[in-house]
Amino acid sequence: MLKQKNNFSHLTAIERINLSLPIQFLLENNLLKGEILDFGCGFGNDVKLLQKKGFKINGYDPHYFPDYPENKFDTIVCCYVLNVLFTEQQSNVLMAISHLLKPGGKAYYAVRRDIKKEGFREHYVHKKPTYQCIVKLPFKSLKLEENYEIYEYTHYNYQRNSSNNCLFCNPRQNLKLITESATAYAILDGYPLSNGHTLVIPKRHVSNYFDLPFKEQSACWLMVNKVQEILNQEFKPDGFNVGMNVNREAGQNMMHVSIHIVPRYGGDVMGAKSGMRCVIPQKK
């Protein structure tokens, strides 16, 4: 199945002489703090106007400002980007912003609320087919107007997510969160088998992976791909073991689904490599 892609999503960017309404709201409520990133900034109008006001802000846009950020930020804003992307692309944006956000930082997503019907339509300026969709996010809603809504996002381990005692529902702040999407997050294992050992964990409290809805299973594996990219950049391993334990007989201790991504390095074990065929030692 071919991946869908909206090749004309960047054509929704417009030039303005004033701050966008979401940025005005964030500015008036003193929510633009520290080092700021405008992710999907388009022509960069908000970036330039805020820089003139003395804010330390950078912009990233794959079409207009293509230098991908290398550092992390206290505040990230993402205005009207998700409405022109397909589901998989939306998840990639959420994961990218989560990874670029400093621990304890906040991201703000502005989405359009004046879209009545999803689909392609001809852009009124560029005369190209641009895709538009309705977006709902599982984050705190700060402001809802007729034409737009603003969500506030913080890392999953910086909030209370459940009243149960599951450590995967309420991960500790001292663990490093790698990335997050609407339905899953990835965090460094508290008892790592190797440098960079990461868990991809669905937010739904389910013990058996096969009981997860298919869409949430897919979201986990999309995140596995993202985590692999991040670990390759940060730790440069020589290989990976990727897998999960399902039920206690298979070694599952935490009764909440998790996928292990274990980086492997040359010489990390003596003799034969302990790959997947060695999980039952007597069957090596």
- The per-residue DSSP string of 14-58 comes to ---SS--HHHHHHHHTT---SSEEEET-TT-HHHHHHHHTT--EE
The whole-number pLDDT of residue 130 equals 84
Q: Which residues, in sequence order, are CB contacts of 122 under 8 Å at separation 6+? A: 128, 129, 130
192 and 277 in a single domain? The answer is yes
Which of 89, 120, 154 is a domain's end point? 154
Verify that 18 and 130 share a domain, yes or no.
yes
pLDDT, residue 284, reads 60
- Assess if residue 168 is contained within a domain: no
Structural domain containing residue 186: 177-283
Q: Is residue 115 part of a domain?
A: yes
Residue matched to tokens 């459940």:
162
Q: Are residues 101 and 136 in the same domain?
A: yes
Q: Is 162 part of a structural domain of the chain?
A: no
pLDDT at 126: 73
Residues 19 and 115 both lie in one domain: yes
Q: 61, 40 in Cβ contact below 8 A?
A: yes
Residues 91 and 114: their CA atoms lie apart, in Å, by: 22
Structural domain contains residue 170:
no
160 within domain boundaries: no
Q: What is the CATH number of the domain that holds 181?
A: 3.30.428.10
Of the candidates 174, 153, 166, which has an alpha carbon nearest to the alpha carbon of residue 202?
A: 166
Q: Does 235 lie in the same domain as 124?
A: no
My answer on whether 97 and 190 are in the same domain is no
- Residue numbers in the chain where pLDDT is lower than 70: 1-14, 270-274, 282-284
Task: Tally the domains of the chain.
Answer: 2
Q: Assess whether 217 and 270 both reside in one domain.
A: yes
Q: Is 40 left (phi over 0), alpha (psi -120 to 50) or beta?
A: left
188-227: per-residue pLDDT in tens? Answer: 999 999 999 999 999 999 999 999 999 999 999 999 999 9
192/105 same-domain check = no
DSSP secondary structure string for all residues of 239-265:
EEEEE---SGGGT--SSS--EEEEEE-
Does 1 reside within a domain?
A: no
Q: Assign residue 126 the CATH number of its domain.
A: 3.40.50.150
Residue carrying structure tokens 């389910």: 206
Residue 1: its pLDDT value, please?
34
C-alpha dihedral, 59 to 65 to 71 to 75, nearest 10°: 20
Pair 30, 61 in one domain = yes
pTM of the model: 0.91
Residue 159 in any domain: the answer is no
Rg of the Cα atoms in the chain: 21
Domain for residue 189, yes or no? Answer: yes
What is the dihedral sign for C-alpha 41, 45, 49, 52? positive
Same domain for 29 and 119: yes
Query: Among 102, 119, 154, which residue terminates a domain?
Result: 154
For residues 145 and 182, membership in a common domain is answered with no
265 and 213, same structural domain?
yes
